Structure 1
Amino acid sequence: MYQSFDDIADPAAALPRIQRLREEMAQRSLDGFLVPRADEHQGEYVPPNAERLSYISGFTGSAGLAVVLANEAAVFVDGRYTVQVVEQVDADTFQAIHMADQMPRDWLKERLSEGMRIGYDPMLHPLGEVRKYEALCAEAGAEFVPCETNPLDATWDDRPAPPLGPVHLHPIDYAGEEASDKIARINGVLGEKKADAAVLTTPESICWLFNIRGSDVTHVPLVTSFAILNREAKPQLFVDGRKLSNAVRDALSGLAEISEPDALLAGLDALGAAKARVLVDPNIAGAAIPRRIEAAGGTVVEGADPVLLPKATKNAAEIDGARAAHARDGVALAKFLAWFDRTAPGGELTEIAAAKKLEEFRAASGMLKDLSFDSISAAGPHAAIPHYRVSYSSNLRIEPGMLYLIDSGGQYLDGTTDVTRTIAVGEPSAEMRDRFTRVLKGHIAISTAKFPKNTSGAQLDALARMALWKAGLDFDHGTGHGVGAYLSVHEGPQRISKAGTVPLEAGMIVSNEPGYYKAGHFGIRIENLELVTDPCAVPDGERAMHAMETLTLAPIDRHLIVAEMLTAEERGWLDTYHALVFTEIGPQVDNGTYRWLEKATRPIAG
């Protein structure tokens, strides 16, 4: 199995652990300390040795921050985790606070006084964030103090060792571009920005640039590493040598100078000594990196990671790989949905059993490398929790009258998938069908959107919400995120959300996943991945327009659709999409699944 259903939170452990941390803080003359859910690379997924927030608080979500003071502490989460944090955190030790109600800086501001020293690990907080805390502390006459070593780590006796997943070369058939050509291309970007070098801190960027993949974090084939790009010289790659076979080391040595991770600081000092102008992303890189360069005499050029945009705009091989991965994934989904349709009405199926079965169907392809995230297998009220994680203690039976939501994905050498389907078990209520149809209308609006060059995700986001807004409804997450090519299932800089300011470009892959959640009752989400296409002329139009090509191939539950609520154009999209699913997936499945698929993709009644 690529996922675990164990209950990993231990609220009772929080009190003795925070007491030890406070003792360590006192020895260092610190009045407070920040514990982010982050490692030195600021990624969504972190290795076990970097799960500091989980260790100190019990909260296991993928985003959050704890502020620990001498006499009180709080854990801050976003809207995805408000239910989870209450279940996992000891309320006597930590306050659980929704960031929409109060941001960490505001909470801390109310408690700061002159002379206080608030500590932080400068490798775990980006420079942009550190500046805000420094200003906050200065206003109160306090100090925001970088710690040379992390005080929490000093108290973590059984802290896991750093990961040592082997590094693999990503085949050119899937990468579509030689690493040497990518490096030359990014060096051209450095020239445009008048930078002599750039520091890369995100493993996704490094893996894409050097055409390597690894297994250092759960579900994402990353190699934890750093890199320095030198416009006029060979790059430097800082990676634990124990991860490299002789063949991989030989291949990478032709591209870069290979050093151990602890040589990074010396590399930054050398840039400073050379008076280099160094591009650093202040929203990603730990504050220690730009400040080390400046302290050594270099000049920091603040700007976006130069790899982000080239990585996000997929080349022809990556696009072909995405299509192949989704066709393969669609076979597994069809088999699962047919099996679920036969099995769920009996009322004996559980959330865990369903998640395991879908993973089994994916693995049967023989090409599954991992899941792209822990499956969100959610029945009834659990489906109203957008990032619900099923465990043995929460495992619900899926019963008639419920909606079942399954959000899942696979990692294949040729692509990364992410798909959500909401399924009626038995007869859905009129309210369920109304809400589902409104979500579907928003989904179709994104899928059929045509938009000019330089259109951002924020400009499209409202399209997904319009049918819900008309009924006084909404959802609290973004409509879509970027997706990598056998990399992270959540990839920037592109996204469809109110905060999505980056223009969508041809070759970008984004999710299309509007939803609706009735707390304590049911949840709905419909998700496909979409490829932004090249601009094309519109009949009688004046400007070429981008559009979306749907990559995901899986039926949408017709039992939940109120056909009369759909326009003729929306019904046409649904029928065309279902015909495509049947044409592409039907020939690849067994007879029983074929018959189910034929029925599931019939044209919708007008």
Structure 2
Amino acid sequence: MSQTARFQSFEDPSHREGAARIAALRAAMAQRGYAGFVVPRADEHQSEYVPANAERLAWLTGFTGSAGTAVVLADRAALVVDGRYTLQAAEQVDTGVVTPVPLAETGVEAWIEANLPAGGVLAYDPWLHTPDGLARLERAAAAAGGRVEPTSLNLVDLVWIDRPAAPRASVVPHPEHLAGEAAAGKLDRVRAALAKARLDALVVSDPHNLAWLFNIRGGDVPHTPLPLGYAVIPRDGRPRLFLDPEKVTAEAAHALDGLAERSEPAALPAALDGLGAAGARVRVDAATGAVALGRRIEAAGGSLDVGPDPITAMKAAKNAAEIAGSRAAHRRDGAAVTRFLAWLAREAPGGAVSEIDAVVRLEGFRAEANNLREIAFPTISGSGPNGAIVHYRVTRGTDRRVQPGELFLIDSGAQYGDGTTDITRTVAVGSPSPEMRDRFTRVLKGHIAIATAVFPRGTTGAQIDAFARRPLWEAGLDFDHGTGHGVGAFLSVHEGPQRIAKTGTVALQPGMIVSNEPGYYKTGAFGIRLENLVLVEERAVPGGERPMLGFETLTLAPFDRALVVPELLTPQETAWLDAYHARVREALSALVDPETRAWLEAATRPVWA
């Protein structure tokens, strides 16, 4: 195809220079007497998507996943990744220099304990680790007979000669009619939370919370509209915002100057010193607050309180305006995805569509949907065996044609000005095998189990995660990722604290948006994932004795009926699927072209039709 992707790069990650780069890092370690150095996939804010100048792990090893940690010693190096990235890590790194280690087998700390030489000093950058993460490193090093030590400069930065400059994307206001609440009101809620917790101040280190609190958006990192910066919110007095002034537009400056003092980011250490000198009790976010922040406060005489940033929970429960924006975004996005699925059904059986073609075409449909700002993450476009790689990212080197007789998995999302979307569909190209249909239907049953769940207030994501797995468990199958993650309102597509997973310990609350995405992956053959976003809502149960909650499905696009085994569905599951498809047809028919409308009519017929 002649089209060019608007947002996504397909360049091949290269590990050809990995040996030389790790050798340079080892030389820097040796000069300083360090036995090892820890390189997390992180920036100063523990962001999922980091700016180019913080892609240290990718530069050093070639691994481009969104989570992972390398530990480099004088004679060996490990890259520890979770189940999403086991296959990707093995393909991207030079395994003669770096050993990929599955997290399920050996964690970072266990590897350090087993490999750090006795008496060795393990160096780390205090801006890239949280206090809890550092404590784990300290225990591991001590168990090995060594110790950890902070560096004043990141050792990777010392050898990364052509490291990109820090980002300076514009900071703009987020309209109040979309935010649903004035920043002044949000600040009052934060101050009330500080008073209740008997705290003197809060350091806001999470850019998502910064953007939400002050009703601003930016573009410092890929795929998420974030301005990188910090804020200090005192319980009494005027907040102080630390943003590069060159990034702040005149409109944003006008809005912000009525709310807070604005300072250069370089002024943050002095502000922390001031809090410490005043003997303040300061909350630093346990999830995103760097060790360097707390140490500065304590060194100046302050009292450090490491815990959850109260803004995180406030942001997670969407208000009426944010919910309305999300519904509108999902209608437009559903129309774009449906146009794509109709196009794919016409073009793929002839073998003319590649994985990259699919990404480009989907981006094109979304760009025509109105109000598109960015894609929410790099589209996962996996044909056949590539679909079995959970977080596969197509490159020019891995690109393959969508072949008849295979499954095609596409997981994608968009950032619209009024909402964030995330959807996965798996479709059959040609005639699917009985095994494919069985596995697809079991994943669909798990998806429906979450979509129809009704549960009492106080229920956590961990308590309902098994609903999605039971149909797979009954066949001796499972999947190695969570069932659902939180999603922001024109913010991160992966937002906490809510999630549906074995580790989802936060109670689900009305207004939270989470994904519903069970899957199944057969290595070397195919992958299946079915994802919609759902909104937690109050649910009246006739005769019920407790306040109950349930889910409203926000995502609108057909599932592939050719992959459904009707006999495996219960009458209730069949009714849900038919009702969902009828809703999709009603919502989207007027938003798509006649050719797509005809395809949609057929794609949303009742299961037994």
Q: Where on the TM-score scale, by shorter chain, does this alignment land: which range?
A: over 0.9
The AA in structure 2 aligned to 1:568 is P
- Determine the structure 2 residue equivalent to 1:524: 528
Question: 1:101-120 counterparts in 2 under 5 A?
Answer: 101-120=105-124
1:99 alignment counterpart: 103
Matched, 1:302 2:306: yes
Cα pair 1:458 1:500 within 8 Å, conserved: yes
Separation in 2 of the partners of 1:436 and 1:457? 23
Which whole-Å CA distance do the structure 2 matches of 1:367 and 1:3 have between them?
15
Listed one character per residue, the Cα deviations across residues 396-418 of structure 1 (whole Å, up to 9, x for unaligned) are: 10011010111001100100000
Q: How far, CA to CA, are the matches of 1:406 and 1:568 in structure 2?
A: 28
Q: How does 1:222-261 map to 2 (within 5 A)?
A: 222-261=226-265
Matched, 1:605 2:603: no
- What are the within-5 Å matches in structure 2 for residues 19-418 of structure 1? 19-418=23-422
Q: CA deviation at 1:7?
A: 2.9
Distance in 2 (CA, whole Å) between partners of 1:141 and 1:422 is 50
* Letter of the 1:275 counterpart: G
Kindly indicate whether the alpha-carbon contact (under 8 Å) linking 2:114 and 2:144 is maintained by their aligned counterparts in 1: no
Question: Against the structure 1 CA distance between its residues 547 and 58, is the aligned structure 2 distance closer, same or farther, given a 3 Å change threshold?
Answer: same
8 Å contact from structure 1 (residues 5, 390) kept in 2: no
Long gaps (5+) in structure 2:
none
Q: Tell me whether 1:593 sits opposite 2:599 in the alignment.
A: no
Q: What secondary structure, in the 3-state scheme, does the structure 2 residue paired with 1:110 have?
A: helix
Structure 2 residue aligned with 1:485, among 484, 489, 495?
A: 489
Partner of 2:586: 583
TM-aligned CA distance change 1:358 to 1:6, over 3 Å: closer
Aligned partner of 1:546 in structure 2 is 549
Whole-Å separation in 1 of the counterparts to 2:577 and 2:96: 51
Instruction: Give the whole-Å Cα distance in 1 for the aligned partners of 2:378 and 2:220.
Output: 16
1:241 match: secondary structure: coil
Contact 1:281 1:303 (C-alpha < 8 Å) held by counterparts: yes
User: What does the per-residue CA deviation read over 1:147-181, in whole Å, with 9 as the maximum and x for residues that have no partner?
Assistant: 11111111111000000000010001110000111
The one-letter code sitting in structure 2 at the alignment partner of 1:545 is M
Counterpart Cα distance in 1 of 2:573 and 2:196 = 45
Shift of 1:334: 1.3
Partner AA of 2:536 in structure 1: V
Distance 2:412 2:386 in 1: 15
Q: Contact 1:127 / 1:286 at 8 angstroms: preserved in 2?
A: yes
Can you list the C-alpha shifts for 1:226-261, whole angstroms capped at 9, x where unaligned?
A: 111111011111111110123322221111111111
Deviation per residue, 1:275-334 (Å, 9 max, x gap) = 001011223211111121111111112210111111000000000000000000011011
State whether residues 412 and 423 of structure 2, in contact with CA within 8 Å, keep that contact through their aligned partners in structure 1. yes
| Identical counterparts, % of pairs | 55
Q: Equivalents in 1 of 2:552, 2:287: separation in Å?
A: 31
Q: Which amino acid aligns with 2:586?
A: T
Structure 1 residues not aligned, in runs of 5+: none
CA contact (8 A) 1:33 1:69 kept: yes
Provide the C-alpha distance between the structure 2 equivalents of 1:483 and 1:245, rounded to a whole number of angstroms.
27
Structure 2 residue 565 is matched with structure 1 residue 562: yes
Quick one: distance in 1 between partners of 2:23 and 2:345? 51
- Counterpart Cα distance in 2 of 1:202 and 1:244: 18
Verify the 8 A CA contact 2:382 2:392 in the aligned structure 1: yes
Distance in 1, matches of 2:96 and 2:504, equals: 38
Are the equivalent residues in 1 in contact too, given 2:6–2:360 (CA < 8 A)?
A: no
| Cα displacement (A) at 1:143 | 1.7
Q: Separation in 1 of the partners of 2:528 and 2:143?
A: 45
Matching residue within 471, 478, 485 for 2:475: 471
Give the residue type in structure 1 aligned to 2:554.
L
Secondary structure at the residue paired with 1:423?
strand
Q: Which amino acid aligns with 1:423?
A: V
- Contact in 1 for aligned 2:46/2:287 (Cα 8 Å): no
Per the normalisation by structure 1, the TM-score is 0.99
**In 1, Cα distance between the equivalents of 2:6 and 2:107?**
35
- Structure 1 residue 8 displacement after superposition: 4.0
Does the CA contact (< 8 Å) of 1:2 and 1:371 recur in 2?
Answer: no
Q: Secondary structure at the match of 1:442?
A: helix
Q: Which amino acid aligns with 1:63?
A: A
CA distance, structure 1, for counterparts of residue 545 and residue 294 of structure 2: 46
Distance 1:140 1:73 in 2: 16
Alpha-carbon distance in 2 for matches of 1:80, 1:537: 38
Aligned-pair CA distance for 1:203: 0.5
Q: Residue 504 of structure 1: CA displacement?
A: 0.2
Number of corresponding residues: 605
The amino acid across from 1:337 in the alignment is: L
Instruction: Specify the code of the residue in structure 2 equivalent to 1:344.
Output: A
Q: CA deviation at 1:499?
A: 0.1
Q: CA RMSD in A?
A: 1.1
Structure 2 residue identity aligned to 1:469: W
